[in-house]
Amino acid sequence: MALELEEAFGAAGEFGGGQRRLTAFLVLLQVYVACQSMLIVLVGAAPEYHIDQEEVPVSRAELAKHVHFASNFTSIVTEWYLIEQEAYKVGLASSLFFAGLLIGNITFGPLSDKLGRKPVYISGSLTNLTFAVGIAVYALLGYCVREWRYLALVSNTPGIIFFLLSFMLPESPRWLYSQGKTAEAEHVLQYIALGNGKERLNLKLKPSAGTLRKDESTPGILNLVKHPVLRWRTVILMYIWYVCSFVYYGLTLNAGELRGNLYLNVALYGLVEVPAFPLCMFFIEKSWSGRRRTMTSFLVFAGFACILALFLPTNAGLLFSPTLLALCGKMMVSAAFNIVYIYTSELYPTVLRNAGLGVCSMSCRFGGILAPFVPSMKSLGPFVPFVVFGISGLSAGFLTLLLPETLNKPIAESIEDLQIPKYQVLRNKKVNQSEENT
């Protein structure tokens, strides 16, 4: 007997041993991704130094004769003397990494819908929590490996292993089924069943409708601009995503600029995100807070934490230090970053959800591109980076108040649903249900 896709999943095993092994593989991948994102913090770390003459030499050769570094680790800064007028190159290297993420987002996002999830490596949900732990792991690696070339080698080598192991990942059966590739979807479901310790099953799926017919069309990305409601919603969301990325990566990369132990600072900037995830999950489901108020609160608190760092002396104790406020700001913006994915998906109608998330994700990458340059603004003043992050967080938080609440509200299926008040949508559904019952 032919089965529906959900029935076939039930027979193969919804989340058995096979899926858990694949999930563990993808979760471990996040540790590698975190090391890549944080690579420049230690590889490009600038230790304290002094120049034994009043005028700063212009040429690098002369600078090498007169500069003395005070730390026991090496970096591209100590090897190539990327200080003074050459310091911008460290931020540029990090910025180019995030520019690569932007290109990947533009290229591989649409490609995943055409070629499938496995070829472009989006066949699972990777947790932000593991990413945070990955930052702490990278700090431990940096503490053990002080020579920057070896550190880069150790951090990058797992990428080869993950690439080779990625061939064991099966394609998404849901994607295969949606594309009309029923036989291939059946084969993957058999693979899942065997991985879950089940005997070989005779799984037969019902024929799939496949892709849209030629006379059918899906609303395009231009609809985000054409409709006034979606236009303003998209502009605000793009800015919020940009700020979340800008402040998140800016504070993370700023870990190398703070006083105290460099490796401990980097580890704390990762581990401080761990409580952020349960915090945001708790508040967004409460009727008195919801998505909008929780998002606003976290962004505003992150902004205030950065601003308050201006008024604390750098030699204060741990409980009243700028470092502690920066850590609090990082936790708050990390929680906001987690919420924005859920909130954004609920603000767009189903037919435009992928387009909306794609546009917001691209604006997020621009925040990452600019973030590495902010720590270098300390040359204008020691707390200038915190002012920039603080104003960004506050502005994004207050702009969130212009968006509607989505908790316990029906999600629009089409663009037309956005023109109907939420209570009317609910009333229509109740009327339809009562008519069906009678």
Amino acid in the structure at residue 98: F
Q: How confident is the model at residue 296 (pLDDT cuts 50, 70, 90)?
A: very high
Least confident of 80-94, 135-149, 190-204, 237-251: 190-204
Query: Is the model more confident about 30 or about 426?
Result: 30
CATH number assigned to the domain with residue range 219-410+417-428, chosen from the 4 options 3.40.50.300, 1.20.1050.140, 1.20.1250.20, 3.30.70.20: 1.20.1250.20
Amino acid in the structure at residue 173: P
Phi/psi of residue 421, nearest 5 degrees? -55, 150
**What is the torsion angle, in degrees rounded to the nearest 10, for the CA atoms of residue 178, residue 181, residue 186 and residue 190?**
-100
For the record, the structure tokens of 264 come out as 């401990």
Q: Give the whole-angstrom CA distance, residue 40 versus residue 96.
A: 11
421 Cβ contact list (under 8 Å, min separation 6): none
Digit-coded pLDDT (tens) for 194-249: 777 777 767 777 776 554 444 445 566 777 888 888 889 999 999 999 999 999 99
- In the three-class reduction of DSSP (H, G, I as helix; E, B as strand; rest coil), residue 124 is classed as coil
Output the pTM of the full model. Answer: 0.78
pLDDT at position 117 is 45
DSSP 272-303: TTTTHHHHHHHHTTSTTTHHHHHHHHHHHHHH
Domain boundaries, the chain: 219-410+417-428
- Residues 177-188: what's their mean pLDDT? 76
Digit-coded pLDDT (tens) for 401-420: 999 999 888 877 777 777 66
Q: Give the whole-angstrom CA distance, residue 240 versus residue 233.
A: 11
Amino acid in the structure at residue 70: A
Least confident of 44-48, 178-182, 340-344: 178-182
